[in-house]
Structure 1
Amino acid sequence: MSMPMRREQRGLIPDLFDWLELPFAALRPSMAPTAQPIKFEDYFKDDRYVLRAELPGIDPEKDVEITVSHGVLTVRAERREEQRDQRRTEFRYGSFTRSLTLPPGVDENDIKATYDKGVLEITIKLAEAKEEGRRIQIESKPQT
Structure 2
Amino acid sequence: MSGMVERLPAWPALPELFGWVEAGLPGVHTVPGLHGIRIEEHLADGTYVLRAELPGIDPSKDVEISVTDDVLTLRAERNEETTEKRHTEFRYGTFARSVRLPAGAKGDEATAEYKDGVLTITVPVPQTKTGTRTIPVRHV
TM-score with structure 2 setting the length:
0.66
**Following the alignment from structure 2 to structure 1, what is the Cα–Cα distance between the partners of residues 77 and 106?**
27
**Following the alignment from structure 1 to structure 2, what is the Cα–Cα distance between the partners of residues 73 and 122?**
10
**Following the alignment from structure 1 to structure 2, what is the Cα–Cα distance between the partners of residues 87 and 28?**
28
Number of aligned residue pairs: 110
Task: Note the 1:45-64 alignment, pairs <5 A.
Answer: 45-64=44-63
Residue 92 of structure 1: SS of its match in structure 2?
A: strand
Which letter does structure 2 place at the counterpart of 1:111? A
Bigger Rg over Cα: 2
Q: What's the counterpart of residue 125 of structure 1?
A: 124
**Following the alignment from structure 2 to structure 1, what is the Cα–Cα distance between the partners of residues 129 and 74?**
28
Cα deviation, residue 45, structure 1: 2.9
Task: Give the gaps of 5 or more residues in structure 2.
Answer: 1-19, 131-140
Cα deviation, residue 84, structure 1: 6.2
**Following the alignment from structure 1 to structure 2, what is the Cα–Cα distance between the partners of residues 113 and 103?**
17
Task: Note the 1:70-109 alignment, pairs <5 A.
Answer: 70-82=69-81, 87-89=87-89, 92-109=91-108
Cα deviation, residue 104, structure 1: 1.4
Cα deviation, residue 101, structure 1: 1.3
Task: List per-residue Cα deviations over 1:27-49 (Å, max 9, x = no partner).
Answer: 345xx210110000011232210
TM-score with structure 1 setting the length:
0.65
Cα deviation, residue 70, structure 1: 0.3
**Following the alignment from structure 1 to structure 2, what is the Cα–Cα distance between the partners of residues 109 and 82?**
35
Which letter does structure 2 place at the counterpart of 1:27? V
Task: Give the gaps of 5 or more residues in structure 1.
Answer: 1-17, 132-144
Note if contact 2:56-2:80 (Cα within 8 Å) is conserved in structure 1. Answer: no
CA RMSD of aligned residues (A): 2.9
Structure 1 stretches of 4+ with a deviation exceeding 3 A read: 26-29, 81-86
**Following the alignment from structure 2 to structure 1, what is the Cα–Cα distance between the partners of residues 95 and 62?**
10
CA 1:82 to 1:88, structure 2 compared with 1: closer, same or farther past 3 Å?
closer
Q: What's the counterpart of residue 112 of structure 2?
A: 113
More strand by percentage? 2
Provide the identity percentage: 45
